[in-house]
Amino acid sequence: RRKVQTMEYYWMFLFYSCYF
């Protein structure tokens, strides 16, 4: 579960980076 959560955060960060 922890790994999945970490990946989610990573994707979120990437998404935000692309967005901004």
- The CA distance from 2 to 16, in Å, is 21
Residue 6 confidence (pLDDT): 79
What integer pLDDT is reported at residue 2 of this predicted model? 64
Which pLDDT band, with edges at 50, 70 and 90, does 5 fall under? confident
- Tokens representing 16? 């935000």
